[in-house]
A and B are shown apart, each in its own frame.
Chain A
Amino acid sequence: MRPSETGTGSLQPDESVLTGAPSLHPSGEIFPAAHYLNAGTRLRSWLVTVDHKRIAVLYLVSTLTALFLGGLFAMAVRVELVGPEPNLVDAVGYNRLFTLHGVVMVFFFMIPAIPGIFGNFMLPLMLGAKDVAFPRLNLLSWYVYVVGAAFTLWAMLYGGADTGWTFYTPYSTITPTKVTPILLGIFVTGFSSILTGLNFIVTIHTLRGPGLTWMRLPLFAWALYGTSIIQLLATPVLGLVVLAAALGHIFAFDLFDPARGGDPVLFQHLFWFYSHPAVYIMVLPAFGVVSETVQAFGRKIIFGYRAVALATAGIAFVGFFVWGHHMFVSSQSTFDAGAFGVLTMLVGVFTAIKVFNWVGTLYKGAIVWRTPLLYVCGFLYFVVFGGMTGVAVATVSLDVHWHDTYFVVAHFHFIMVGATLMAFLAGLHYWFPKMFGRTYPEGWGMVAGALIILGFNATFVPQFLLGNMGMPRRYYTYAEQFRTLNVASTFGATLLLFGFLLVGLYLLLSLRGGKVAGPNPWGSKGFEWLTQSPPLEHNFRTQPTFHGPPHDYSTPVEENLHG
């Protein structure tokens, strides 16, 4: 840490206390002289860093690469489906494309992104800590992620797999494509997920600053806590099942081979025991991001803190008992299906509590209409509609009709992709000044946000309709009557692509050319803003103490107390 006299313009008294709308076009702010980004500039200082903020940036780069790759696969799938005739690839190529899209997006973007980037960066800041509990383990988790991704990338270059991201046996053990390295890649990446979760739980237990009781914990920290529990308890089961499938593929001994009495449904049970809770690994951190942004831009403390925190725990808990809803048509008994259906609807109850509280927070708030809040609105829409279709597909009689159709594809893209991406983008814009000390162009932010939300709808609303009309998922071709809606969906995907490229472009340019943000451009009272932006190498010059909950806007914002 450098001595404080090298400090910042933000320490100057000319900064009047912000009580109204945050200054979006800061002027006179001086970029901090010492911060985590210039604490070492050689490549080596990044590759062996144990600073949670730098590891967050490493995750940012790697998961965005995965997002880009997965997006390319998605675009290729949509281009192929623009008509029922072969357009781009052959049938096997198509199978590989949607498999790789799913694998890359689920395991290398959606699961690690928000915890890996924002969790790593913000959690210690929010707790008033200097780092996570196990900084070296944190770095290890990133390397493990990279090794897992390398396995998968290698498999992709050698042809990928054609099983879908679910790897259902017995097909996954007999397909000639490169299933094994992908499964091993996922197995390895699981350790990364476990290490991150473990680290966060221990961090929240042991490194809360003075006065930071559990009921003052920022809601993002609560969300990470719930997520981490799922990561710890569910991921090992996925590890086991993909290991069994991979060994089955290598040594031709299939634990699930029906020819020898094995039961493929057992694979499905074990797979979904992880992979359904995995949806909450993706979506709970997103909920946490929204809880933070909704307070910062509603300029009001959360409505019903306890309810939101406990609903997080509720989702994490109930999420473990709903996996059977993926197997309504896989020889499950009617009773089981009914039980799993009802339990699934409980998730809807907890989610609805949260939605109610978020809307209640905005109600009569002093709303600051900025890009993050635009994404929050998009998020609320996707959660409500994705969630309601979720309750619908949890109803056995309806699901028998929709099972394995585009309705299901559209549903889970709405809830786990739409909601997660919206929150991811909200967080990315909200915390961009925190992470890099500069602001993005607000106008372009709004344009890109509108494009993405519209594009997402244009992509997946037609897919709801297609699914309801009976178009099965994962098919290479389709009946002529589905053409128009497929074209619409591909058109939407193109909008989405342009939206993302726009975001990527202006954020990249803002890294160097954006206006200097100052310590707290939003006037946010989240605890992560108690230090300068970008933060110091060890976060705080003086140890923050906590006298109240985060986002308490009844008192004036005091800038950069501990930076």
Chain B
Amino acid sequence: MAETHAHHFPDAGVQRHASLLGMWLFLSTEVLLFAGLFVAYGYYRFLFPGAFAEGSRAMHTWLGLANTVVLIASSFAVALAHHAAGAGRNRTTFWLLVAALAAGVFFLGVKAVEYVEHFRAGELPGKWFTHPGMKAPGISLFYAVYFLATGLHALHVVVGMSLLAWAAVPAWKRRYGPGNVGLVENAGLYWHLVDLVWIFLFPLLYLV
């Protein structure tokens, strides 16, 4: 695809600037969305340190760690894909994006396994909490925060994967090239944010 731009932009450079600025602004809204959650986390952790300690001890830390590693690797793949797209290596871009997508699938699969485990053990929010062993006050709030945070994050993983799949189409059609990487760049930015949120969620929920 040659460098084209919509009629209301004076040139392609301005259009590229606009699309990047738009994406960064959108990412700022995502940060604020999760910031609200982190406030809730911090507040309840302050009120019920015992519950949060007990809850995070019961997490499947190894599964969470595996997911973290996979997600970071996928972000690396997306960064490489962006680089390759800029160099016009469309085949490489395509397979790197596929690899990142596979990592997303893996992440969601592991998350599903964890959720099933939580449901089996009765480690659930609100009145659904039935775990017989955990007695710390406020423990059901830990799970309310946990499910809200990881659920919202999983939703972002799904959206991010859709964007990556979308960005893979021009690569398949060999259309990326120098100065024409907008789609893979923006999808990549979103994917990095998804990754970054998880990098905060993992230690907060599993480790500390």
Among B8, B127, B140, B148, which residue has its beta carbon within 8 angstroms of that of A135? B8
A427 smallest CB distance to B (angstroms): 24
The answer to whether A263 touches B43 (Cβ under 8 A) is yes
- A235-254 Cβ-contact flags toward B at 8 Å (1 or 0): 11101110110011001111
The answer to whether A198 touches B47 (Cβ under 8 A) is no
Chain A CB within 10 A, most for which of B22, B30, B127, B128? B22
- Which of B31-39, B85-93, B168-176 participates in binding chain A? B31-39
Question: Count the A-B residue pairs with Cβ separation under 8 angstroms: how many?
Answer: 123
- A358-371 Cβ-contact flags toward B at 8 Å (1 or 0): 00000000000000
A-B residue pairs in contact (CB < 8 Å), sample of 5? A133-B18, A134-B18, A235-B29, A236-B36, A237-B35
| Known A233-B28, A260-B140; 12 more pairs at CB < 8 Å | A124-B8, A199-B22, A205-B21, A206-B18, A237-B33, A247-B148, A251-B128, A252-B127, A253-B147, A255-B141, A263-B43, A538-B8
The chain B residue with its CB closest to the CB of A539 is B8
- B133-173 Cβ-contact flags toward A at 8 Å (1 or 0): 00001101100110110001000000000000000000000
Among B6, B37, B141, which residue has its beta carbon within 8 angstroms of that of A262? B141
The answer to whether A255 touches B145 (Cβ under 8 A) is yes
The answer to whether A241 touches B36 (Cβ under 8 A) is yes
- B residues within 8 A CB of A205? 17-18, 21
The chain A residue with its CB closest to the CB of B6 is A135
| Assembled-state Cα–Cα distance A129/B26 (Å) | 23
- A residues within 8 A CB of B30? 236
Is A224's CB within 8 Å of the partner chain B? no
The answer to whether B8 touches A236 (Cβ under 8 A) is no
The answer to whether A252 touches B126 (Cβ under 8 A) is yes
Q: Which residues 93-112 of B sit at the A interface, judged by CB distance below 8 A?
A: none
Among B32, B44, B128, B138, which residue has its beta carbon within 8 angstroms of that of A253? B128
Is B69's CB within 8 Å of the partner chain A? no
B143 smallest CB distance to A (angstroms): 8
Is B125's CB within 8 Å of the partner chain A? yes
- B1-24 Cβ-contact flags toward A at 8 Å (1 or 0): 000001111000010011001100
Is B124's CB within 8 Å of the partner chain A? yes
Is B116's CB within 8 Å of the partner chain A? no
The answer to whether B47 touches A206 (Cβ under 8 A) is no
- A219-240 Cβ-contact flags toward B at 8 Å (1 or 0): 0000000000000111111011
Is B48's CB within 8 Å of the partner chain A? yes
- B residues within 8 A CB of A254? 126, 144
Is B25's CB within 8 Å of the partner chain A? yes
- A residues within 8 A CB of B40? 244, 255, 266, 270
Among B6, B29, B35, which residue has its beta carbon within 8 angstroms of that of A232? B29
| Assembled-state Cα–Cα distance A20/B131 (Å) | 81
| Assembled-state Cα–Cα distance A482/B9 (Å) | 60
The answer to whether B43 touches A198 (Cβ under 8 A) is no
Supposing A252-B126, A270-B39 touch, asked if A202 and B25 sit within 8 A by C-beta, the answer is yes
The answer to whether A237 touches B137 (Cβ under 8 A) is no
Is A559's CB within 8 Å of the partner chain B? no
List residues of chain A with CB under 8 Å of any chain B CB.
124, 129-131, 133-135, 137, 194, 198-199, 201-202, 205-207, 232-237, 239-241, 243-244, 247-248, 251-255, 257, 260-263, 266, 269-270, 273, 538
- A residues within 8 A CB of B39? 266, 269-270
Among A129, A240, A260, A538, which residue has its beta carbon within 8 angstroms of that of B126? A260
Supposing A254-B126, A263-B47, A270-B40 touch, asked if A236 and B29 sit within 8 A by C-beta, the answer is yes
Supposing A202-B18, A260-B141, A262-B141 touch, asked if A270 and B36 sit within 8 A by C-beta, the answer is yes
A316 smallest CB distance to B (angstroms): 14
- A residues within 8 A CB of B17? 205-206
The answer to whether B127 touches A232 (Cβ under 8 A) is no
- B residues within 8 A CB of A233? 28-29, 32
The answer to whether B22 touches A202 (Cβ under 8 A) is yes
A212 smallest CB distance to B (angstroms): 13
- A residues within 8 A CB of B34? 240
Supposing A131-B8, A261-B48 touch, asked if A237 and B36 sit within 8 A by C-beta, the answer is yes
Chain A CB within 10 A, most for which of B17, B32, B44? B32
The answer to whether B26 touches A266 (Cβ under 8 A) is no
- Top 4 nearest A-B pairs (CB, nearest first) are A253-B126, A253-B125, A236-B33, A130-B8
The answer to whether A261 touches B127 (Cβ under 8 A) is no
The answer to whether B8 touches A206 (Cβ under 8 A) is no
The chain A residue with its CB closest to the CB of B7 is A130
- B residues within 8 A CB of A137? 22
The answer to whether A202 touches B21 (Cβ under 8 A) is yes
Supposing A206-B17, A236-B33 touch, asked if A134 and B126 sit within 8 A by C-beta, the answer is no
The chain B residue with its CB closest to the CB of A253 is B126
- A residues within 8 A CB of B140? 253, 260-261
The chain B residue with its CB closest to the CB of A262 is B141
The answer to whether B138 touches A260 (Cβ under 8 A) is yes
Among B9, B21, B126, which residue has its beta carbon within 8 angstroms of that of A251? B126
| Assembled-state Cα–Cα distance A198/B36 (Å) | 20
- B residues within 8 A CB of A202? 18, 21-22, 25
Chain B CB within 10 A, most for which of A233, A257, A260, A263? A260
The answer to whether A198 touches B25 (Cβ under 8 A) is yes
| Assembled-state Cα–Cα distance A488/B136 (Å) | 57
